[in-house]
Structure formats: C-alpha cells, structure tokens
Amino acid sequence: MNPAQLRPLPVIATLLGAGAAIWCTWPPLVHTWMAMADYQHGGLLALFLLVWVYQRASQVPCYTPHASPLAAVLLLGALLAWLVAYRAASSIGQQIMIPPILWLAVWMSCGIVAARLVAAPILCLYFAIPVWEVLLPTLQHLTVGVAETVLGWLGVPVAINGPLVTIPEGTFEIAEGCAGKRYLIVALTVAAVFAGTVRLRPRRALAFLAITAALALVLNWLRVMIVIYAGHLTDMQSYFVAREHLSLGWALFAVLVAIVCLIGWRLAPASPRGVAPPAAEAARAASFPRSGLAATLLLLCLPLAAQLYARYALARPGNPTVLHLPELAGWRGPRVPDPAWAPHCIGASSQTHAAYEGAAGAVQVFVAEYLEQRAGAKLISYENTLTDPAWLQLRAEALDPAGRTAGSAAAAALWMVTPDGQPWIVSYVYQVDRVVTASPVLAQLAYGTLSWGGVRPSRLVAIAAPCPGSCDETQRTLSLFWSTVGERLLR
C-alpha cells in the first residue's frame, strides 16, 4: 500500500478505540439527533467530521513514537470525569466528555502535531451535542429584554412578567422556541462546516463564528419584534399572530444562512493552504506510533473495566421502604394535599405527598427517594416534573436565605403561575447520602462519585404553597418551614 494511504490510520485507530471505550454514550446521542428538532443535523455533521478528520490526519508529517505523560494524565482525568457521569446516569455529562476524550487520546497516541490538526473537527462535535440547552434561560431573558427596549423606542406601552410580554392589544409568551436556540445552533454549525471546507485560519474562523452568533441572535430578535409589532398594529389580527409565524422564521433563517455563506466566502483564503509532505516524510509517517498507541488503548480499557465492575461487583439496594411524612412540631399534619400541585418523579423507589398547616400558613410537601439511580429512574431527569407542564415559570432563584435546612444551602425556588392565573412558589433541595444541595449538577456529581463505593440513597424534597395574596408572605412561610422542620424531611 502507498505510504501516504497509511498516514491517517494511527489517528483513525485511536479515535475508534476511544469511541469504543465509551460505547454506551453513543445510543442516547443518536436518539437525540433523531428526536430533538434542534439537533437533527447531528448525523450529517458527524459524517462530515469523519471526512474532515481523515483529511486532516492525512496531513500529519510524522508521529511521536512515545506516549506523552501529560496527555496520559489529562486523558485519565477525562475518563474519570466520564465515569462520574456514567455512574450518575447523566447522558449529557457523558456526551460533554466525548470531544476531550477523543482529542486527548489522539495526543497521547500520535503526538501533539496530530492532535492540533484534528482539534477543529473534534471540537465541532459540540454543535451536535445538546450542551446548548443551558443557554435557554439566558437567551429567553435577552429576547424579552430586547423586546421591552425596542417596543419602548417605538412608543408601544409594554409590561414584562417573566417570559410574558404584554402590550395593550394582548400578551405574548417568549417561549423556549422563541429564544433563538435553533437559529444559534444551526447557524454556528453551518459556519463551522464552511470554515472547515474553505480552510479558514484559526483567528478568522473564530471571528467568523462570533459574527455568525451575533447575526443569529439579531435575526431571531427581529423575528420576535415583527410578530409583536404586527399584533400591535393590527389589534392581534395579523397573519403572524392569528394563524402562524413559522414561515417568517424559515424565511429569516434562509436569509441568515445566505449571509453566513457570503461572509465565509469573503473571509476565505485566495488559494488553498497546505503542502503535501515530501516522500521521505510520508514514508516515515506511514509507520504506526506503536508504543504510544498501545499505551493509549491500554488506558482506554479503564472505562470498560469500570462498567463491568459497576454491573457485577457493586452492591444492589434492598427493597424500598414506604415513605411516611412525620408529624412536625408547630405544624398540623400530614393531611390530604391540594391536588392542584402534583409533582412526579419517574422511577422513584418511593414517593409521598401531603399538606401541613401552621400559624404562618399552609404548605404542601413532596418527597421522592431513589435507592439506586439508572437510566429512566434518576434524581435529575427531564422527565421528572415539579409542576404540571401547563404551569408557566416566571422566574427561578434561591429562596429567602432564611430558608435553609441545617447546615445546607438555601433551597431553590420557582415562581410559577397556573393556567387559571393562580401564582405558586415551589421550593426544593436534593439530598445524596449526606450531601444536601439545591444544585442539580452538584447532586449528580455527588451521586456519580459516592455511588462507586456502594448504595447511596438520594432524595428530592419539595415544599410549595399558593400565593393567596402577596407572594412575599408565601415566601416567608416557606422559609420558616424549611428553617424549623425542613431537616426532618431529609434522610
């Protein structure tokens, strides 16, 4: 075989080995590409990135024969982080670690030169990983802020309540689909693919991506403003208000893609960069970096061994006990809860729901316990619901600092409103073994770390109340409940 044809094989072999070591991460990611509209480009992007990696690997001038100690340490750290996410049954946590594991494996086995060449296509995999969901609250907040500012400039009276934008003619909800996440993800994906195709230099590529992100946000804000202002001018009778506005979104997105491609062509170099290596270098590059590759593949056996250990060696929990809420000093209960608030945790070992009443007011209490977490039955999951999906979230923040359980951080709280206009405050904390936190990320990290030592029960404790008048008074009632008896609800 021609030596030039052998040149990409060490990189490809390393990537295949690294991908196989974390094999259980891929099915949920592929499911995301098939099920979530914002990531349906994932399959095509992955195919393009494979071609891009092969093309970049073909340009490696020579391979480092020995494994890099620094790369080995960093790869070990990335694999341990992946194992924490694996044990916590966190699909997104595992997926976030895919690019670092792939890139560090290439560095360790093939050297830093090869790793630099394939860094861009490997990093572009993030455009197909649902890490962008974390931007949703920020994007919604920005869109609402822009709407309020621009409507003020246009002389339209406007009132803001969370994601609700109210003008004299009616109310618009800046829902998740209006935040511009899809515009941002797909536009950046197009820009990244374009930059790789025309081989933009790193600085130009970064500038190109920054310009694309700004354009995506601005065009989404323009779309939202057109719909709201059309509702103002036509007393809510505009086609975009009364019937649909998806066609407007698609038209503006087509304009966005055209502008991105035009900017990309202007930034593209006049002639292709890169020079084919001399024949001697090609022959040298054709040989496998045997020791580095062997050491990398040996290290990649760690996640496989750990998965076997978790499946066959770790102790399994016993039979779950039925949860009973206790009697609490100063509070009458437990009593039959208000059915209006009905949280649910999928796959919980046990859960219970009751009401208490005291001098400060009435509260609802919900507790769900997991003896062991796994896919489809875990403490932190998109399928778990603290409220009915029809309830609208106005804001989320920490409860009053007085609302603390013994030694723990303040409970998190959601200000919600029911479809019939009744406001509620829903507060909650997570407990994993002895760790109590309001952060879902910290709860997952705690379980993913501690559960390697055996069974670690975990709980969600939620306390809620409607706002009969001022929500400030309800917040004080919830804070009092947490501070006086909240610790008795923890394990």
* CA distance linking residue 200 with residue 317, whole number of Å: 54
Name the residue type at position 311: R
pLDDT at 273: 52
CB 312 within 8 A of CB 342: no
Name the residue type at position 409: A
> Token pair of 287, please?
């040989």
Q: Is the pLDDT of residue 58 over 60?
A: yes
Q: Which of 168-182, 221-235, 265-279, 359-373 has the lowest mean pLDDT?
A: 265-279
What contacts 24+ positions apart, CB below 8 Å, involve 130-138?
A: 130/32, 130/36, 130/38, 130/39, 130/92, 130/95, 131/92, 131/95, 131/96, 132/38, 132/181, 132/184, 132/185, 133/92, 133/181, 135/181, 135/184, 136/176, 136/179, 136/181, 137/396
Give tens-digit pLDDT for 185-220. Answer: 999 999 998 888 888 888 899 999 999 999 999 999
pLDDT confidence of 426, banded at 50, 70, 90? very high
Per the listing, tokens 């075989």 go with: 1
Q: Which of 117-121, 315-319, 331-335 has the lowest mean pLDDT?
A: 315-319
pTM: 0.87
Relative to beta strand 170-173, strand 458-466 is unpaired
Q: Is the pLDDT of residue 412 over 50?
A: yes
The domain ranges of the chain are: 3-130+278-312, 133-267, 331-489
pLDDT at 30: 95
Give tens-digit pLDDT for 64-111. Answer: 777 788 999 999 999 999 999 999 999 999 999 999 999 999 999 988
